[in-house]
Structure 1
Amino acid sequence: MNVDFTNFSLVLNAVRSRYPATHKLQIAFNNFVVDVFVNNKSLAVALEHYFAEFIVKNPQRAVNTTVTVHDAPPLSFPYAFTLAMPASPHKKIKHEWAELDEGRVIHHRITDMYYLIGNGENCIAGPCLERKNQVVNFINSRFITNQVDNGYLLGHASAVTSNGRGLIICGNSGAGKSTLALHMLTNGADFVSNDRVLIPNSGSNPFYGTLQQPRINPGTALNNPSLQRILSPEERIEFGRMSPETLWQTEYKYDAIIPECYGNHRFIPHAPLSAVAIMDWRRNSEPMMIETLTAQEARHFITHMMKKNDLLYVPKNKGYTDPTINDYIQALKDKPIFVLHGGVDFAQATKKLTTFLNTGSTGA
């Protein structure tokens, strides 16, 4: 691109001009409305299917923000990028970024995707059709940005709702947050969120989820009757031969589209904030037990749900600082915290936590 790369607006306009996005869809995140323009028809169709229940059929609402999506061959920007170092030295460096006067250019080093954000503009470019999930995450990140700018705390968690109660489910990566949430859907609950929640810092209601469909591993699909259709007959045989430990470690992921697996109107991305379940269990033969704590007593466990904002968040308030554990404790101060100890037992956890949604007590 022959352009002044120090000028964010010129770089943005060059991308949009070279790969014009003319396919439009409008997505409603509760009352937050996003116009999405896509240059690839196949990708536009895939996104419309993914967000189907949240597509505005007859767009008349005021739009809160716009995202442009540009499927393109590998791009090149001549910046001296700053590396985003991972928290663990054993993990790969995924992102690097350049800060310009009016915006930020972020490069995903592994997938060669670029994000251009700032001054109210949102653009993603690169092999978007191949990396649909990154496009989905970017669209969701615009809602997250809006909520954080309005004082919400970002949490790493799944969530479900039923009978006017909402339950946030969190734990270490790989603990089974999505698996437990989906077992609860099979037991009658509705889905709120897969991986991110936005919690009001005042402790008021409701909390919000994002519009990300669950990403599940083969073991989750194999052991839940509502999800088995995701696997082919051959895959069911192959995965059925694996040991539980091997299945647990299998990294391959499937999209579990909620309306296809559970029926329409079961994905409700907001709920009253009633309680938090924290998975502190282990893969052993001990009986599962639930300990009910206050937020202050559960201080150590609540760190599992804290999520630091990433490079896709550019604060509207220049004086913004990341929230602390005390902010999360304050937001949850009058909510029961259910800590799941002992061995992994999805059936028992589902039974106890569904009882809470139905009655207000786990019966423990």
Structure 2
Amino acid sequence: MKASQAALAETLIGDAEPLERSLVLDMGRATLAIRSNSAALLDVLGDYFAHCRSPESTADVEVLAIEREAPELGVAFLDWSREPGKTGRKDSILDVPNGRLVRKVRTGMVFLQSAARRIAAGPCLANDNQVVNFIVSQYMNHLQQSGWRICHAAALARGDRAVAIAGFSGGGKSTAMLHALEHPGSAFLTNDRLFLKREGGGVRAAGVPKQPRINPGTVLNNPRLETLIPAPRREALRALPAAELWELEEKYDVPVAAFYGPERLVAEASLAAAIILNWRRDDPGPPRIAAVDLMQRRELLPAIMKSPGPFYQHADGRFQADGEPLDEAAYLEVLAGVPVFEVSGGIDFNALVRRHLIPLLEG
């Protein structure tokens, strides 16, 4: 098979006939149109992105999702390195002229990423979260190509005032964010991908419309969310030791609009502060918070910095390279003047939210 974009696109689409209707999403700074040969898939995606559906028929970006068997392309993919702390094979890639194929090792889903074509092909309905991630990646590309810096952080807002929550792997940023949403006036900005850009003398914070994906421990410790897990499974999980429950990788999506209300979602706000969770489960003391200077505490930067990943195509057409070093200076520049706090000591989400997060949000 000739490895040109056109040939690859033809192979991925096969005999599929995309439907006339599309799903249009207004994500804040860009509008995306999603087309598919599967009405069921468009319905699933429409439910997931219900809070940002748009009646507009025009869009900045089009994504085509083809429901079919996993494509067998007869090409040699190269494994993409996992993030620190992650194990096992996840993504593999093949660069083609002006484009990139990304294959999900476990599911066989294949994605064609380029400036001209954005195609997801494979058992999309069975792996709808991978299709969601691909769609969100297009908005992430748009933001980064427009000068926004990607961060590994959750964020909350109150009015136009946002607080970012970063942390090392397993630090509990999603749990802290959901605890804070229990307080009236707080709103969800983003769960795991935060974008920052200096504008108008300050720093703007933008999120992506992806629902929080949380582990069972977070669900079981939040009465509002416990119905996300079927009752028999909840009882089995409650019987696990706390340490084992903390480490368990079993993800559940939290539809924020359904559980907290559509008014508790915002796309952007001005960044007022950032906190970095550097606390420990084995510390018996209360959480402690202290202002830090990232220029002097560069070892904390990895908690904030985030690789754009294999789907990212720079504005000049170049794709992100595997293992490409992140630009510490760029992060220090965008965060210059923003108050940054380190949270150490023992883990206590209620105390963190009540004593520190909410006061920072209220200013």
TM-score (norm: length of structure 2): 0.92
Aligned twin of 1:59: 56
C-alpha separation between the residues in 2 aligned to 1:152 and 1:106?
Answer: 23
* 1:110-147 deviation line (CA, Å, top 9, x unaligned): 21110101132101111111111111110000011111
Work out whether residues 203 and 334 of structure 2, in 8 Å CA contact, stay in contact via their aligned partners in 1.
no
Question: Are 1:161 and 1:271, in contact at CA under 8 Å, matched by a contact in 2?
Answer: yes
* Distance in 1, Cα, partners of 2:77 & 2:243: 40
Q: Is the 8 A contact 2:17 2:37 kept in 1?
A: yes
Partner of residue 245, structure 1: 243
Aligned partner of residue 265 in structure 1, secondary structure: helix
Give SS of 2:343's match.
strand
Question: In structure 2, the residue corresponding to 1:131 is in which secondary structure?
Answer: helix
Pair 242,151 (structure 1): closer, same or farther in 2 beyond 3 Å: same
- Secondary structure of the 2:162 match is strand
| Structure 2 runs not aligned, ≥5 long | none
CA RMSD in angstroms, aligned pairs only: 2.0
Structure 1 pair 205/335, CA: closer, same or farther in 2 (3 Å)?
closer
Deviations along 1:57-101, one digit per CA (max 9) or x if unpaired, are x224x4110000012112111223233233559822322222222
**Amino acid paired to 1:291:** A
| Matched AA of 2:352 | A
Please identify, of 109-118 and 10-19, the stretch whose mean Cα deviation from structure 2 is larger. Answer: 10-19
Deviations 1:217-261 (A, max 9, x none): 111111112212223333333333333222211211111100111
Q: Which residue is equivalent to 1:196? A: 193
- 1:101: which partner in 2? 97
C-alpha contact 1:27 1:51 (8 A) present in aligned 2 = yes
Distance 1:236 1:109 in 2: 30
Corresponding residue for 1:233? 231
SS of aligned partner of 2:101:
strand
User: What SS does the aligned partner of 1:354 have?
Assistant: helix
> Structure 1 residue 51: deviation in Å?
0.5
The amino acid across from 2:128 in the alignment is K
- Equivalent residue of 1:206, what SS? strand
Secondary structure (helix, strand or coil) at the match of 2:7 reads helix
**Percent of aligned positions that are identical:** 28
Which residue number in structure 2 is paired with residue 86 of structure 1? 82
TM-score (normalizing by structure 1): 0.91
Q: Distance in 2 between matches of 1:297 and 1:347?
A: 29
Q: What CA distance in whole angstroms lies between the structure 1 residues aligned with 2:9 and 2:357?
A: 48
Residue 332 of structure 1 aligns with which residue? Answer: 335
Gaps of 5+ in 1: none
Aligned amino acid, residue 133 of structure 1:
N
Letter in 2 for 1:250: L
Q: How does 1:177-216 map to 2 (within 5 A)?
A: 177-188=173-184, 189-200=186-197, 204-216=202-214
Q: How far apart, in 2, do the equivalents of 1:236 and 1:116 lie?
A: 39
- Separation of aligned partners in 2, 1:156 and 1:17: 37
How many residue pairs get aligned? The number is 354
Separation in 2, partners of 1:283, 1:343: 6
Please tell me whether residue 355 in structure 1 is matched to residue 359 in structure 2: yes
CA contact (8 A) 2:70 2:110 kept: no
Structure 2 residue identity aligned to 1:45: D
2:294 match: 295
